Amino acid sequence: MTMMKSSPLAFAKHHLKTLFLFTRSDYKTIFFPVLFFSIATTSKIDSFNFLRTVIWIWIHLLQANVSNQTFSGHEDKINKPWRPLPSGRVTPKQARILRWSLMVFCLCLSAVYSRMVFIASFALTIVEIVHDDVGFSGDTVLKNLCNVGGYSTFELGAACSMNNGSLSNTGFIALTCSCVLIFTTISAQDFADVEGDKLSGRKTLPIVAPNGSRYYILSALLLWSYFLIHMWGLGPISGGIFIGVGAYVGSRYFRFRDAKNDRLSYLLYNVWLVAAHTLPFNNSTGVLSR
């Protein structure tokens, strides 16, 4: 009797954990940066728009992760063996069914939100198809373009959801900056995954240029930190802190060159990225102009 009562709960916990494991790696890389971006670019925040934006980001994050992980089994066995597919929690067939079901659900949900949110959801689906099914993920430049497309569609949908269905002027400028920022720095995610990427035949920047890529990411973070300080009118204190974080993260990539340190450097890169996505908030409040 106890097992009958606990069985539905155990069933629910198992599947909720599976969904969490699909998205676990990308709370720091996508969920929080995109959420903070949507908050920073809206003129007014209310609880309803905040809640529906959180839901929209998470369900689309799940869709993107299931799509990507359906094709990343080989490297995940080395880089992320706890994910649902390499750990055996779901089969490839189940993952494919979930992937296409989520695509339909996300499009229908977005259509209820607004036309712009639907466009963002549809564009994200196209990005996933060319990245995963067509094979753009195997080329460094094409992969980075897909990363830009993924981030920008996430940010467009979330910003429009938070801003009653439309994109503000600040949001448009911030989105443009974000696209270029992601394209030029997203290789930060590839340093810790070199072994798995080699196994899958991918040619990421750290594989193609092991030493030059570390000079590059150090320079890129410094230059972007300097540019964003002036772009969003930061004052000497907040500006000094922001460029200091960028310099520290970039120097870590340059100084420490093992997988363990690269994972920590990537975590810190995402802290810097979240901070970069909140800077547009200064455009309307001026709180960082000191």
Q: Which domains does the chain have, with CATH numbers?
A: 27-285 (1.10.600)
Q: How confident is the model at residue 9 (pLDDT cuts 50, 70, 90)?
A: confident
- Asked which of 21-25, 118-122, 248-252 is least confident by mean pLDDT, the reply is 21-25
Q: For the chain, what percent of residues have pLDDT higher than 90?
A: 66
Residues 14-42: pLDDT tens digits? Answer: 889 999 999 998 998 899 999 999 999 98
The alpha carbon torsion through 131, 135, 137, 140 (nearest 10 deg) reads -120
* CA distance linking residue 151 with residue 185, whole number of Å: 12
What is the DSSP code (8-state) at residue 285? Answer: H
Contact by Cβ (8 Å): 70, 92:
yes
* CA distance linking residue 55 with residue 140, whole number of Å: 31
pLDDT at 4 over 50: no
Residues 150-177: pLDDT tens digits? Answer: 999 999 999 999 998 888 888 999 999 9
